[in-house]
Amino acid sequence: QLGVNRSTVILAFAELRSMGIIESRSGSGTRVSQYKWGATPRHTPNWKRYAEGGSFLPNVPFLRRIREALSQTPSMIDFASGELSGDLSPMNEIAMLMDEHHYTSYLGYANPQGYIPLRQALVAYLDQYRGIQTTESSILITSGSQQSLFLITQCLLSPGDAVAIEDPSYCYSLPMFQSAGLRLFRLPVDRDGVRPEDIRTLYKKHRIKMIFTNPNYQNPTGTFLTDERRNKLLEIASELGLPIVEDDPYSLTDYEGEFCPPLKSVDPHGNIIYIGSFSKIVASGLRIGWMVAPHAIVERLADARQQMDFGLSVIPQQVAAQFLISSHFEPQLNRLRMQLRYKRDLLIEALQKELPGLIQYNIPQGGIHMWCKLVPEVNDAKLLEEGIKKGVVFVPGSVYGSDSGYVRFTFARAKEEDIGPGIAAFAEALRELIK
């Protein structure tokens, strides 16, 4: 019995091959080559060490496992991806705009701050739909809100800076903050959102430099920050001179079509950097996001964009600008809200039918997520694996930096007819673990 495992032998052979000491030919095996002693040895770079280098931490293993399961099994019912299903995006309308307009008339580099007609369209959109008055010089177009968060953490903060984040918090922001070397302090979210007084405590203890919040139909809890807490949050931030990053992809998805003013629309002392996105209202694949911030900040971040990627491709920016000013935008919002509410109701119906007494939740009034507490105690990893076996994925709560014992179901991605069977499969997986 050899005390070496197979992969060590394979690696050793690869190394000998790279040094020219052995040669392999398909069909005739491996032999010692006519190695000339004294010749300069050749080496393959240690790619594994490079792959572990750099400043980016890998994503949470659960998220990688979910992605893998989705790509291996196309029939998997998806309550994990925070995305709209294809039928919720205005595919036909966008195809029509692309036929009508000649998007290829300009194919040079775009302005790194963003294509001017899109910024102009956003000035009108922000005023009409979000109650935010701004100018095109205060808008930066980004590759989704993800890039806005990235630019803020990389360009406006330094390693070692302390920031306040929600607990639980948007899962793809966590490794990004950690990769930037930030110290993260948590603001617990209850059914009314974060408690603003907690900010004062964090400031006194850790001198936090920035607050990250997703106050409108929060990911993952679906909570909407109450008016009283909004006012208090703004009051405390202005008292301490602290910037608030308001990440707001969901406020336009209010199911009743109520006007849900973002914090930025009442920001008397200019504390808010506002982040918006097309992803949850139109289509995530266009990668259209925007930031509204003081001009000096926008200019600084646009300069960084120039170093990173010369700005976003002009084509999706042209499509987005046309879509925003077209007669398709408002009907898209109305249809989306109605269908999201319908999918939420299907999910609740399935949870009531399949998991009575086993799950607790608050009913969201907007957004695409439902945050559920599991009554029985189960291991997150085992539950996910069991779910995958039964053909359903969801996100275990611990991914959001909070305690285990929670699950996030996103109801926008799955097909309507899959929601019931998906929850039935989840219930089977859960029962498997508690029997």
Residue ranges in contact with ligand PMP by CB under 6 A: 82, 144-146, 170, 214, 219, 247, 249, 277, 279, 284, 289
Give 214 or 322: the residue with its C-beta nearer to ligand PMP: 214
Give 130 or 390: the residue with its C-beta nearer to ligand PMP: 130
Q: What are phi and psi of 95, to 5 degrees?
A: -60, -40
Work out the widest C-alpha separation in the chain, in whole angstroms. Answer: 81
User: Could you tell me if 394 and 407 are in contact, meaning their C-beta atoms sit under 8 angstroms apart?
Assistant: yes
Give 220 or 387: the residue with its C-beta nearer to ligand PMP: 220
User: Could you tell me if 164 and 185 are in contact, meaning their C-beta atoms sit under 8 angstroms apart?
Assistant: yes
Judged by DSSP in three states, 234 sits in helix
Distance of closest approach, residue 322 Cβ to ligand PMP, in angstroms: 19
Distance of closest approach, residue 230 Cβ to ligand PMP, in angstroms: 17
- The residue number with the shortest CB distance to ligand PMP is 144
Give 216 or 326: the residue with its C-beta nearer to ligand PMP: 216
Q: What is the DSSP letter of 426?
A: H
Distance of closest approach, residue 144 Cβ to ligand PMP, in angstroms: 2
Which residues are within 8 A (CB) of 103 and not within 5 positions of it... i.e. 6 or more apart? 314, 315, 318, 319
Can you tell me which residue has the tokens 């069977």? 421
Distance CA 353, CA 384 (A): 21
Cβ count near 413 (within 10 Å)? 21
Amino acid at the residue 344: R
Distance of closest approach, residue 284 Cβ to ligand PMP, in angstroms: 5
Give 230 or 390: the residue with its C-beta nearer to ligand PMP: 230
Distance of closest approach, residue 377 Cβ to ligand PMP, in angstroms: 28
Cα-Cα end-to-end distance for the chain: 42
Distance of closest approach, residue 342 Cβ to ligand PMP, in angstroms: 21
Q: What is the DSSP letter of 362?
A: P
Give 170 or 255: the residue with its C-beta nearer to ligand PMP: 170
